[in-house]
Amino acid sequence: MRWLLATLGALFFVAAPAAAQIPFDGSEVFRFALHKKGLKPLSQSAEAIRVPEKTMIVIVGDTSSLANKITSLQLRNYVHQGGALLIATDGNFVQFVAGDRGWGNAFNISINGQQLRARQQNCYGNDVNQPFVSPHMLGRPILDEQSPYHLFDGLVQADNRAVATDKPSEMKVGNPGRFDLDALADYAPGTFYVRGGGPVLNRTFAVSLQSQQSKFGRMLVFADDNVFANGMMGFKKDETAEQGYSFDNGNWELTNRTIDWLKRTSDDGGRTHCLFIENGNIIEQFAIPIPPKPKTPIPELPPEVMANLVLTYMNPLIDEAQERNFFNRVIEGWLGFPRLLRWFIILMSILFLFTCLRWMIRGRGKFDPRTSMTPNSQAGLVPRGGIVTQRTAAQIEVGNLYEAASRRVRDRFEVLGARPLSDGNMPAVLIAGDVPDWPILRRTVEWLWMLGYGGQPVAVPPGDWDRMNALLERVMVRASRGDWSFGQAVL
C-alpha cells in the first residue's frame, strides 16, 4: 500500500505534468500496477503463446478487432496450456476474420453491449450509470487466495469498499466446455436496462474459468472495462489518513487481487511478462520513467548578497533564541553570575587603562599638520568640481561606489517602469513560465533592487563596478526578451 500512495502522489500531483492529465477512461493506473508487480510488457502475441506458464494476457476495451492480434482458438488453447487471461469489455462484438467467430463464442460467453443502470443508493457517487457490484453468494467459504472468490471477498458497500462500474453491460454465460465456471460478482437487484427500462434477469458481472487440463490455466471475464479505468480507482487526497490518501471504493483493491491471482503459478516467481491489448492495440510500455530534474547551478552572487541571505535565514533563529533567553542561560550556567561580573569589571578596567595610556602617548608627540603644509598643499585640499563629482571622487577614495551603483540601477530600472510600492518594498517580479533558470534570475533582480532602492548601503568596491554593470545589463537584456518584468506598483 505504501508504494501505491507514494507513486500515485508522484503520478498525479507532483512529478510529471503529463501524468496529471491522464484520461478518465484510460488504463495508465492499471498498467502502472502491472509494472509495480514486476510484469514486463510483450510486443507480440506469439511471445505470450510460446510460454503460457510464464505469461498473462490482459484484454480491455473494444474486442471487435481482437482477431487481428490473436485468434479465439489461440486464446482457448493458451488457457488450457497454463496461461492466464483477463478480458474486461462491455461488448464482445466481432469483425469476422478468416472464420474466427470471436472470443465470446470460443468460451460460450455473451456480453450484449446493452448499458445498465441501478438505483442511486446502489451506485457509486449516486450516479445511476455507475452501479456497484457485490460478491456472488455471500458467505461462501474461501479457503485461500487461490480461490477466485477471493477477488471480491469483503468488497461490499459497507466502509466504502464496494467495486464500482461505469456504464456496464449484461453478461450471459453458457457451458464453456472443459473449464470450471464460477460466478464471482453480481449487480444489485433492481438493475435495469437503459433502453426500455426493463429489469436485468442475468445479473452476473464477473466470472472465472479454470482449465480442467492445467492447474494454473485460468481466465477472468468482467462485463465492463471501466472497472479498471483511471477515473474509477477511487483514490482521493485525505489529510486525515496515515499516508495522506484514502479510497472510496474497492476498485484498486480488486485491481491488485486480480493481478496477483492471474500472476500466481506453481513456480514461486510466478508469471513475469504480460501482453496488454487495449481497444485492439498492443501497449508496449507500462510505466514511463520520469527524467531527473536538472540541477540548478549555484548563482555567482557577491559576498554581500550571500551575507544578507545568511542573515535573512539566521535572524529568525537568533530572535527565537533570544526570546527564550538561551544565550544568557548558557553563559550563566557555564560561568556563573558572580564570576561573570568579576571578569567584566576586570576587562573594563584593562580597556580603560589601555585607552588612557594610548591617549597620553599620542598626545606627547602630537603636532599640527598645518604648520608643515605649504600654501600649494593647502590649496590642493580645496574641493573642485560639482557635488556629484566630489561625491564620486570621495567614494573612489574610500573604495565604495555604492551611491554611483545605486544611481546606475535606478536609471536602468526606471526604463522598465520600476516604482517602489507604497510600503517601500519591491513590486512583484513576473517571470515567464518557460525560463529554466528563473530562481537565479529572481535572486539577481532582488539583489539589484536592494542595491538601487534598499535602505541600507551595500559595499561596492571599485573592482566590482564592471561586474555589477555587466550583471545589470544582462538582466536588462533578459527583460527586453520578455523573460521577466516588474508588476504594476500600487501607490
DSSP per position, 141-157: ---STTSGGGGGTT-ST
Q: What is the pLDDT at residue 264? A: 87
Task: Mark whether 200 and 332 lie in a shared domain.
Answer: no
Segment among 100-104, 238-242, 349-353, 469-473 with least mean pLDDT: 238-242
253: amino acid identity, one letter: E
Task: Mark whether 113 and 148 lie in a shared domain.
Answer: yes
Task: Mark whether 309 and 242 lie in a shared domain.
Answer: no
Task: Mark whether 269 and 321 lie in a shared domain.
Answer: no
Q: What is the pLDDT at residue 420? A: 85
SS (H, E, C) 12-39: HHHCCCCHHHCCCCCCHHHHHHHHHCCC
Structural domain contains residue 171: yes
Task: Please choose, from the candidates 395, 401, 390, 388, the residue with its C-alpha nearest in 3D space to the C-alpha of residue 458.
Answer: 401
Structural domain contains residue 289: no
> Quick one: residue 138, left, alpha or beta (phi over 0 = left, psi -120 to 50 = alpha)?
beta
Structural domain contains residue 364: no
Task: Mark whether 23 and 52 lie in a shared domain.
Answer: yes
Q: What is the pLDDT at residue 424? A: 76
Which residues, 6 or more positions from 214, have their beta carbon under 8 angstroms from its beta carbon?
79, 80, 81, 82
Q: Domain end: 283, 318, 349, which one? A: 283
Backbone angles phi, psi at 86, to 5 degrees: -125, 130
Structural domain contains residue 48: yes
In this predicted model, what pLDDT tens digit does every residue of 358-405 receive, in sequence order? 888 887 766 555 555 566 655 555 555 555 565 665 566 656 777 888
Task: Mark whether 112 and 189 lie in a shared domain.
Answer: yes
Q: Please say whether the beta carbons of 46 and 39 come within 8 A.
A: no
Task: Kindly tell me the burial class for residue 267, based on how many C-beta atoms sit within 10 Å of its own C-beta (0-12, 13-18, 19 or more).
Answer: exposed
pLDDT band at 472 (very low <50, low <70, confident <90, very high): confident
Structural domain contains residue 372: no
Q: Please say whether the beta carbons of 59 and 66 come within 8 A.
A: yes
The residue ranking higher by pLDDT, 452 or 328, is 452
pLDDT band at 6 (very low <50, low <70, confident <90, very high): very low
Task: Mark whether 327 and 264 lie in a shared domain.
Answer: no
Task: Mark whether 179 and 47 lie in a shared domain.
Answer: yes
Q: What is the pLDDT at residue 365? A: 62
Task: Mark whether 273 and 310 lie in a shared domain.
Answer: no
Q: What is the mean pLDDT of residues 268-282?
A: 91
Structural domain contains residue 359: no
Query: To 10 degrees, the CA torsion angle through 121, 155, 227, 19?
Result: 110
Structural domain contains residue 275: yes
Q: What is the mean pLDDT of residues 307-335?
A: 72
Which residues, 6 or more positions from 183, have their beta carbon under 8 angstroms from its beta carbon?
136, 137, 173, 204, 206, 207
Structural domain contains residue 467: yes
Q: Is the confidence at residue 412, as pLDDT, over 50?
A: yes
How far is residue 450's CA from residue 470's CA, in Å, rounded to a whole number?
A: 17
Q: What is the pLDDT at residue 196? A: 84
Q: What is the pLDDT at residue 160? A: 81
**Domain total for the chain?**
2
- Residue-averaged pLDDT of the chain: 82
Task: Mark whether 262 and 332 lie in a shared domain.
Answer: no
Range(s) of the domain holding residue 415: 303-340+386-486
Task: Mark whether 192 and 307 lie in a shared domain.
Answer: no
Which residue is it, cell 462485463? 223
Q: What is the mean pLDDT of residues 6-33?
A: 64
Q: Which three cell numbers stand for residue 446?
A: 532582488
The b/e string for 382-391 (b: 16+ C-beta within 10 A; e otherwise) is eeeeeeeeee
Q: What is the mean pLDDT of residues 204-227?
A: 94
Task: Mark whether 222 and 330 lie in a shared domain.
Answer: no
